[in-house]
Chain A
Amino acid sequence: MEHPLTKNIHPDRPPLNLPEYEQTGGYAAVRTAVKNMTPQEVQLRVKDSNLKGRGGAGFNTGMKWSFVPMGPDAPKTKYLIANADEMEPGTFKDRLLLEGNPHQLIEGMIVAAYAIQANISYIFLRWAYKKAAELIRKSIAEAYAKGYLGKNILGSGFCLDMYLHTGVGRYMCGEETALLNALEGKRATPRAKPPFPQISGLFGKPTIVNNVETFCCVPHIVNNGAEWFKSLSHSEDGGTKIYGVSGKVNRPGAWELPMGITMRELLEEYAGGMKNGFRLKGILPGGASTDFLTAQHLDIKMDFTSVAAAGSRLGTGTMIVMDDATCPVGFVHNLQHFFAQESCGWCTPCREGLPWVEKILLSLEKGQGREEDMQLLQMHTQLLGPGNTFCALAPGAMEPLQSALKYFRDDFEHHITEKGCPYNSIR
């Protein structure tokens, strides 16, 4: 089994510096791309590899790049941005890549920037990733010193500057258009689409925003070809995927595995199954803003299409396991508290709806729930849907709630009939 993204990451060793990275074949993709390929060829290869965005939306990366205006009439200034604002609760896969092999990200970004002919790039990093910030700064400096960044890269005539920008810790900044506003120094409020960032992004110029893991795949696709990348996968989505598991399992962690491994394999083989005395109650397969799946779904493949078919989303591919001793109402309340707090306050349904949901769930936990609360919760899951709100934050927040109401309805009702949380006695 190949682990292209993590093969050079070892927990007991600091990440590779530039010479070490080069020794493992690093920056070969930059050389290949800028010297032997046209930007369009790079775009096409990435498109053919069926690399889908690893930030959660799962859109074909090469296709996304192809919407950027190219050629002599295209705007002179274009931007490329790495979304490293990893704030999805339960998600820690980008951190592994950022702290484990920062040059891999930088290389992927250079190739991607070349593919869309962007000359300025930013890494928008989560505020709390202090260690990653330090490593990225050092790696960018090394790449400049070696001529992989800056003017006339490897004599190709292609120029690229790269900057690290650290956020202030807002979940909203993970949404690409809010990220753009934040980067411009404005409030982190999302933008309406269209226009899409590929046309009018940072400072109104064509911009590509991709997730860290997405960029990390790019050098390997350039080096080894689209077919190789597809062959890594167990499903139609190309490549490997960093999967993660958290919760009351024996070995929580993150692993690079073929795209499309089953949830069962991931949970039982890699995470070592549930801890003694705990039974699996539900799984959020791709972070806090995805729908619960349950034990009956364990044999589905962890790829974008299969998880969607089961009624949830692959999201970031880092799953949160909920055990039978954890109150689903309290669990969902915790999530809704987070989402309500992280709403940017721009659109009404999200700004006013999420705090209401949070308050209802808290009242259920306190034993003050009423019959009509079930209806109100249901109403919010229906009305805070995609299209009704300005961006995907509130619809994402409703995913764990709506599925909890579906799979764990009894638990919610018991809170009302028993005027309190039945799990309190278990704990």
Chain B
Amino acid sequence: MTIYIDNKPYEVPAGKNLLETCLSLGIDLPYFCWHPALGSVGACRQCAVKLYKDKEDTHGRIVMSCMEGAKDGLLLSVADAGAKAFRKQIIEWLMTNHPHDCPVCDEGGSCHLQDMTVMTGHDYRRFQYKKRTHINQYLGPFIHHEMNRCIQCYRCVRYYRDYAGGDDLNVFAAHHHVYFGREKDGILESPFSGNLAEVCPTGVFTDKTLKEHYTRKWDLTMAPSVCPHCSLGCNIVAGERYGKLRCIGNRYNGEVNGYFLCDKGRFGYEFVNSENRLVKPIIRNRTVEAADETQLVSHLGPLLSHSHSLIGIGSPRASVESNFALMQLVGKENFYQGVNNDEAYLNQRVANIMQYGALHTPSLKEIGLADAVLVLGEDIWNTAPMMALAVRQAVMKTAAADALQHTSLPAWHDMAVRELVQDGKGFLASCTVIPSPLDEISSCTHYAAPDDLARMGFAIAHYIEPSLPPVPGLDNALAEKAKIIAKALQQAKCPVVISGTSAYNEALIKAAFNISLALDKGEKKAMLSYVLPECNSLGLAMMQAPSLETAIGRVQREKDTTLIILEHDIYRSLPPSTADAFLSHCKNSIVLDSLHNRTTQKAQVLIPAATFAEADGTLVNNEGRAQRFYQVFMPANNYIKESWRWLWKMKALRTASGNGHPLHPDELLAQLETALPQFEGISRVSPPHDFRIHGEPIPREPHRYSGRTAMLANIAVSEPKPLQDGDSPLSYTMEGYQGMPPSSMIPFFWAPGWNSIQSVNKYQQETGGPLRGGDPGLRLFEHKNGSPPAFFKDTPEAFTALPKKWLLLPRFHIFGSGELSVYSASVQELSPEPYILMSKHDADQLGAANGSVITLKEGGKEYSFPLKIEEALSDGIVLVPAGLQGMVAFSWGTWALLSTQKNLV
């Protein structure tokens, strides 16, 4: 359709409002209450334009562009003097009570309110009276609250409550006293609260962790990065100054994280700045353990010589490049996954299913657009938080689409759509071991032991595809539930089934596959998504190496082995005695890692590895999307290097070939494609290291970076030479290409007149759509068509509780279970103390109550935990938090003995 803006014709798509339409056309129009992910409510009145009835209409009328749909032939004016005056006046009104404290406000320099104020031209304050003031609240370790700056756009509560499903942030009072906060001081309960800092157009909600080491956006050195804290691979912008990682911001990727991040991803970055960093090579059993590079190299020489056989332990949290460099150093047959048998087996199972390529593995965006969702046995709220947020969007959007079927209302009319929807929900079946916050929006919940959940899954598959065998011994109530779920999934146009590895149960993975395959018929494309444990679990699994235990077998048989462990604390995967034995069986042990941990305490040689923020690399997320992260800043010293760089040097040592030419990550990926064809195409994930635009690199520092000549003046008065980055097209300067970089290499979002994160609209093909040039990442399993997949036929037996023994399962915590993120003080603060979870019935059997000390006997050791009773948990199962700092690695899915000490702690 054609619309006329200030008498110029534009071809525009239907179904959008005029504000999105104008922004998509590149026309600057100020706004506050609208947000591309939240839709329109017409509250702030900032986006006013003039609308004309027809060509004869010379007066027109002021309308809010966010509340009017684009219609063919529509006449509007953005430049009209009356509309401009009104927009300017809106800012003057908004600013009557604003404290004008930009110099001390964390938002300053990346503030949507500043941008919109300048855009409208408001510059002179006529309001002469006292401003209203508010009291601020303590909102927990992540978010700082400064209510006086509020301009009442209502975006915070609309995001927090409507979009993210939070309940504890609200709007209180009325007229010009409206207050956005909690009923009383307290920690924000939503694990998506950090997005408030970006959703808020000014400095009411700001990043509290950034405040600890504050830097203006314009002074940050920034690079495009990928979140290392779970398997989803959300895109982030990481910013540094003075060698400290300062903050994580959202990096829009329409297919993955869209506009938002979870709090673990946003605030878990501070391990990079941790006191616990390994910053110098260490050679144990010397008078002075710290070594320099020369000493290290001369020490490593003999260890890596051919008189030793090498064993390499890869890492699910290290890049594809580093893992591959290790594989090249030790040889393919000597390369092992840094995960235990169970995990390796499950990850491999998932990788194999995905490599079939028969079923579509959805991106987070596609999950958000599904019209029926089944979560089978995976606690996605804790193991893949952004997937839980996507599932919530699927549920809400399906309800909205249903409600809108019989009306002419546009989907962007948020308030009216919500009114129509009321409590309506799209279909979500949540079948999990214990309750999840997602249950609130589930049409159907079922709590059971993993095997029973898998049986439920097999039953669902049977009801969808009757040729599959029925599940023997399923009781009627469960069969009914399975039928309901089967029917809902069958009726959906784009159903998605979600499972994962965190319940340590293979049958769940098979059942989820069966359901999807049964659904995937003809026109209908069913989607299947698995959650994996770590940011590169899939990348590592694709290398098809044996598990840690297999490596242990090797070192027990062979003498004189040199063990090289890449970025992994094996004590998180193996019981302490096994891990101890493993290390002691090796003649030499070398660990490359960024933080000290239990493994680095025992290993003989420690080599400091760069964190994600100091390295280039590629990760493969749970959908099989390879994504590149870039170095944000050079490590604090020359000893800290990317693991792949160290490993390349070590290979040169072993082959005595000298250093050779410096190796770039893209060259490593090219070699990987040749060595392991399953990675075909991965080198195209991002432009090569020598990519330039008009001969220019892409600057990591914004055009307003300050203090370059003064920053190090206390050390040397002359300006140091800019750091050189030979590994990527990004440079450590302000100079370089000032236009729009390729979508995979956007170091920061910034456009003329748009200093805040809202500038992302300038980088999109249309507002809320893909980035220009396509959303980043390369899906490795796309268009793969292996052998035709077959249904799994091995339905597990029903779970039976055993007398005096309990099935031991992990309980994951978004804050606490991550190895790295707990080194952020803010995340650590929210990490739970260890506990053990069991049913009321089982607690009664043991004569225990909430708080009783329960002793768990596992692997010949005893561990004590306070008891928490979980009513919904099946009898015969206990759950213990997984991966808490210092906790041993239990053999999940095995039977444990329990006893109680009866006294309350």
Chain A residues within CB distance 8 Å of chain B: 170, 172, 187, 191-192, 194-195, 199-200, 203-204, 340-349, 351-356, 359, 363, 372, 376, 379, 383, 387-390
Kindly list chain A residues whose C-beta atoms are within 8 Å of the C-beta of B63: 387
| Other-chain residue from A170, A341, A376, A388 in contact with B62 (beta carbon distance below 8 A) | A388
Question: In the complex where A203-B422, A387-B63 touch, is A349 in contact with B416 (Cβ < 8 A)?
Answer: no
Chain A binder among B167-175, B383-391, B788-796, B829-837: B167-175
Decide if the interface of chain A is mainly helix, strand, loop or mixed: helix
Q: From B90, which residue of chain A is reached at the shortest CB distance?
A: A348
Chain A binder among B93-101, B187-195, B511-519, B802-810: B93-101
Kindly list chain A residues whose C-beta atoms are within 8 Å of the C-beta of B42: 192, 347, 390
| Other-chain residue from A342, A352, A383 in contact with B94 (beta carbon distance below 8 A) | A352
Indicate if the CB atoms of B413 and A192 lie closer than 8 Å. yes
6 A-B contacts, Cβ less than 8 Å apart?
Answer: A200-B407, A200-B409, A340-B176, A347-B44, A355-B176, A387-B63
Indicate if the CB atoms of A387 and B61 lie closer than 8 Å. yes
Residue among A192, A342, A372, A387 with max Cβ neighbours from chain B (10 Å): A192
Closest CB-CB distance, A21 to chain B, in whole Å?
37
Kindly list chain A residues whose C-beta atoms are within 8 Å of the C-beta of B175: 340-345, 351, 354-355
A191–B416 Cα distance when bound, in Å, is 8
3 nearest A-B residue pairs (beta carbon): A352-B93, A345-B178, A343-B175
Indicate if the CB atoms of A192 and B415 lie closer than 8 Å. yes
Indicate if the CB atoms of A383 and B44 lie closer than 8 Å. no
B 374-433 contacts with A by CB, 8 A = 403, 407, 409, 413, 415-416, 419-422
A187–B63 Cα distance when bound, in Å, is 24
| Other-chain residue from A195, A344, A349, A352 in contact with B174 (beta carbon distance below 8 A) | A344
A342–B177 Cα distance when bound, in Å, is 11
A283–B509 Cα distance when bound, in Å, is 78
Question: In the complex where A351-B176, A355-B176, A390-B43 touch, is A195 in contact with B93 (Cβ < 8 A)?
Answer: no
Closest CB-CB distance, B124 to chain A, in whole Å?
11
B 475-516 contacts with A by CB, 8 A = none
Indicate if the CB atoms of B407 and A195 lie closer than 8 Å. yes
Kindly list chain A residues whose C-beta atoms are within 8 Å of the C-beta of B345: none
A379–B126 Cα distance when bound, in Å, is 12
A345–B86 Cα distance when bound, in Å, is 19
Indicate if the CB atoms of B178 and A351 lie closer than 8 Å. yes
Task: Determine whether B67 belongs to the interface, using a CB cutoff of 8 Å to chain A.
Answer: yes
Kindly list chain B residues whose C-beta atoms are within 8 Å of the C-beta of A359: 129
Task: Determine whether B152 belongs to the interface, using a CB cutoff of 8 Å to chain A.
Answer: yes
Kindly list chain A residues whose C-beta atoms are within 8 Å of the C-beta of B415: 191-192
Q: From B63, which residue of chain A is reached at the shortest CB distance?
A: A387
Mask, B84-114, CB within 8 Å of A = 1, is: 0010011001101100000000000000000
A45–B473 Cα distance when bound, in Å, is 67
Indicate if the CB atoms of B171 and A187 lie closer than 8 Å. yes
A351–B97 Cα distance when bound, in Å, is 11
Other than the known A203-B419, A348-B43, what 18 A-B pairs have Cβ atoms closer than 8 Å?
A172-B174, A187-B171, A194-B416, A195-B409, A195-B416, A195-B420, A200-B409, A200-B420, A204-B419, A343-B174, A345-B173, A347-B42, A348-B90, A349-B93, A352-B97, A376-B126, A383-B89, A388-B62
Task: Determine whether B41 belongs to the interface, using a CB cutoff of 8 Å to chain A.
Answer: yes
Kindly list chain B residues whose C-beta atoms are within 8 Å of the C-beta of A352: 93-94, 96-97, 176
A372–B128 Cα distance when bound, in Å, is 11
Mask, B26-43, CB within 8 Å of A = 1, is: 000000000000000111
A48–B62 Cα distance when bound, in Å, is 35
Kindly list chain A residues whose C-beta atoms are within 8 Å of the C-beta of B126: 372, 376
Kindly list chain B residues whose C-beta atoms are within 8 Å of the C-beta of A204: 403, 419-422
A191–B419 Cα distance when bound, in Å, is 9
Task: Determine whether B45 belongs to the interface, using a CB cutoff of 8 Å to chain A.
Answer: yes
Kindly list chain A residues whose C-beta atoms are within 8 Å of the C-beta of B61: 387
Question: In the complex where A191-B416, A204-B422, A349-B93 touch, is A170 in contact with B174 (Cβ < 8 A)?
Answer: yes
| Other-chain residue from B86, B94, B127 in contact with A388 (beta carbon distance below 8 A) | B86
Q: From A73, which residue of chain B is reached at the shortest CB distance?
A: B406
Indicate if the CB atoms of A343 and B176 lie closer than 8 Å. yes
Closest CB-CB distance, B81 to chain A, in whole Å?
13
| Other-chain residue from A170, A172, A187, A353 in contact with B93 (beta carbon distance below 8 A) | A353
A353–B86 Cα distance when bound, in Å, is 12
Closest CB-CB distance, B695 to chain A, in whole Å?
48
Kindly list chain B residues whose C-beta atoms are within 8 Å of the C-beta of A345: 152, 173-178
Closest CB-CB distance, B269 to chain A, in whole Å?
36
Chain B residues within CB distance 8 Å of chain A: 41-46, 48, 61-63, 67, 86, 89-90, 93-94, 96-97, 126-129, 151-152, 154, 171, 173-178, 403, 407, 409, 413, 415-416, 419-422
Q: From B132, which residue of chain A is reached at the shortest CB distance?
A: A355
Indicate if the CB atoms of A192 and B152 lie closer than 8 Å. no
Indicate if the CB atoms of B67 and A356 lie closer than 8 Å. no
A390–B97 Cα distance when bound, in Å, is 20
Question: In the complex where A192-B413, A199-B407, A343-B176 touch, is A348 in contact with B420 (Cβ < 8 A)?
Answer: no
Closest CB-CB distance, A8 to chain B, in whole Å?
39
Closest CB-CB distance, A183 to chain B, in whole Å?
12
Kindly list chain B residues whose C-beta atoms are within 8 Å of the C-beta of A387: 61-63
A349–B127 Cα distance when bound, in Å, is 14
Indicate if the CB atoms of A192 and B90 lie closer than 8 Å. no
Kindly list chain B residues whose C-beta atoms are within 8 Å of the C-beta of A199: 407
Residue among A192, A346, A348, A387 with max Cβ neighbours from chain B (10 Å): A348
Q: From B32, which residue of chain A is reached at the shortest CB distance?
A: A348
Indicate if the CB atoms of B93 and A356 lie closer than 8 Å. yes
A372–B174 Cα distance when bound, in Å, is 29
Indicate if the CB atoms of A349 and B407 lie closer than 8 Å. no
Kindly list chain A residues whose C-beta atoms are within 8 Å of the C-beta of B94: 348, 352
Question: In the complex where A199-B407, A200-B420, A204-B403 touch, is A348 in contact with B173 (Cβ < 8 A)?
Answer: no
Q: From B173, which residue of chain A is reached at the shortest CB distance?
A: A345
Closest CB-CB distance, B62 to chain A, in whole Å?
6
Indicate if the CB atoms of A390 and B419 lie closer than 8 Å. no
Question: In the complex where A340-B176, A348-B46 touch, is A356 in contact with B416 (Cβ < 8 A)?
Answer: no
Kindly list chain A residues whose C-beta atoms are within 8 Å of the C-beta of B86: 383, 388
Indicate if the CB atoms of B171 and A356 lie closer than 8 Å. no
Q: From B85, which residue of chain A is reached at the shortest CB distance?
A: A383
Kindly list chain A residues whose C-beta atoms are within 8 Å of the C-beta of B127: 356
Closest CB-CB distance, B892 to chain A, in whole Å?
45
Q: From A345, which residue of chain B is reached at the shortest CB distance?
A: B178
A344–B97 Cα distance when bound, in Å, is 17
Kindly list chain A residues whose C-beta atoms are within 8 Å of the C-beta of B176: 340, 343, 345, 351-352, 355
Closest CB-CB distance, B658 to chain A, in whole Å?
69
Q: From A197, which residue of chain B is reached at the shortest CB distance?
A: B419
Kindly list chain B residues whose C-beta atoms are within 8 Å of the C-beta of A341: 175
A343–B94 Cα distance when bound, in Å, is 15
A151–B596 Cα distance when bound, in Å, is 75
Kindly list chain B residues whose C-beta atoms are within 8 Å of the C-beta of A353: 93
Closest CB-CB distance, A172 to chain B, in whole Å?
8
A105–B208 Cα distance when bound, in Å, is 57
Kindly list chain A residues whose C-beta atoms are within 8 Å of the C-beta of B151: 348
| Other-chain residue from A195, A200, A349 in contact with B45 (beta carbon distance below 8 A) | A349
A343–B178 Cα distance when bound, in Å, is 10
Q: From A375, which residue of chain B is reached at the shortest CB distance?
A: B126
Kindly list chain B residues whose C-beta atoms are within 8 Å of the C-beta of A172: 174
Closest CB-CB distance, A191 to chain B, in whole Å?
6
A194–B97 Cα distance when bound, in Å, is 32
A203–B424 Cα distance when bound, in Å, is 11
Closest CB-CB distance, B133 to chain A, in whole Å?
14
Indicate if the CB atoms of A347 and B62 lie closer than 8 Å. no
Indicate if the CB atoms of A390 and B45 lie closer than 8 Å. yes
Closest CB-CB distance, B407 to chain A, in whole Å?
7
A359–B415 Cα distance when bound, in Å, is 32
Kindly list chain A residues whose C-beta atoms are within 8 Å of the C-beta of B89: 349, 379, 383
A191–B409 Cα distance when bound, in Å, is 14
Kindly list chain A residues whose C-beta atoms are within 8 Å of the C-beta of B62: 387-388
Residue among B89, B96, B129, B151 with max Cβ neighbours from chain A (10 Å): B89
A209–B420 Cα distance when bound, in Å, is 18
Kindly list chain A residues whose C-beta atoms are within 8 Å of the C-beta of B154: 346
